[in-house]
């Protein structure tokens, strides 16, 4: 069974394996991370955890029987808004995992007002995920020189109130 876990120090080795194994697969649709990312992985992982502790980002990994099969992140949190990013291992693609995991993450009560996302015009799988989760297209953008779309998902304040009530009660 797959679970969504908040990124921790214990995920470092497995996350590196996931990124290495899927590097060429991801690079077919999104910009490659570059050799430096892999060379400086440990430092970068520590930096991500520090950002998470500071509250500017929420990082998540999808774990299936001890193996990381995907990640879903909320980054650049500012004024109640966060940007969504996600990637699923080639071996786990097409099973509805991205749709399920993105739904889980966007419904986590992080106190956000809205979540934004962007994807290239040719990334139909990603567009399907965003549409199914309830994102609406807001415009056209350029992503690393490629045409893309921007999206937004308003977060229902009722959820936040319910959470605050539960937390204080």
Ligand X SMILES: CC(C)(COP(=O)(O)OP(=O)(O)OC[C@H]1O[C@@H](n2cnc3c(N)ncnc32)[C@H](O)[C@@H]1OP(=O)(O)O)[C@@H](O)C(=O)NCCC(=O)NCCS
* Residues within the interface to ligand X (CB under 6 A): 26, 29-30, 86-88, 93-99, 119, 123-126, 128-129
Q: In the complex with ligand X, which residue's Cβ is closer, 37 or 46?
A: 37
Would you call 31 helix, strand, or coil by DSSP? coil
Q: In the complex with ligand X, which residue's Cβ is closer, 52 or 119?
A: 119
Would you call 9 helix, strand, or coil by DSSP? helix
Count Cβ neighbours within 10 Å for each residue of 5-41 and write b for 16 or more, e otherwise: eebeeebbeebbebbeebeeebeeebeeeeeeeeeeb
| Beta carbon of residue 4, minimum distance to ligand X (angstroms, whole number) | 13
| Beta carbon of residue 150, minimum distance to ligand X (angstroms, whole number) | 11
Q: In the complex with ligand X, which residue's Cβ is closer, 104 or 159?
A: 104
| Beta carbon of residue 82, minimum distance to ligand X (angstroms, whole number) | 14
| Beta carbon of residue 100, minimum distance to ligand X (angstroms, whole number) | 7
57's tokens: 């980002």
Q: In the complex with ligand X, which residue's Cβ is closer, 6 or 128?
A: 128
């Amino acid at each position: 069974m797959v679970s969504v876990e908040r990124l921790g120090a214990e995920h470092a080795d497995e996350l590196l394996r996931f990124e290495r194994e899927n590097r060429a697969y991801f690079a077919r649709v999104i910009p490659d991370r570059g050799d430096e990312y892999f060379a400086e992985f440990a430092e970068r992982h520590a930096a991500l955890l520090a950002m998470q502790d500071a509250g500017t980002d929420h990082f998540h990994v999808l774990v299936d029987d001890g193996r990381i099969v995907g990640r879903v992140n909320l980054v650049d949190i500012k004024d109640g808004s966060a940007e969504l990013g996600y990637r699923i291992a080639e071996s786990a693609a097409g099973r509805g995992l991205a749709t399920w995991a993105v739904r889980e993450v966007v419904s986590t009560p992080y106190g956000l007002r809205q979540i934004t996302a962007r994807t290239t015009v040719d990334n139909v799988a990603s567009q399907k995920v965003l549409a199914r989760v309830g994102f609406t297209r807001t415009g056209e953008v350029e992503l690393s020189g490629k045409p893309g779309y921007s999206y937004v998902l308003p977060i229902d304040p009722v959820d936040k109130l319910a959470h605050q009530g539960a937390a204080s009660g």
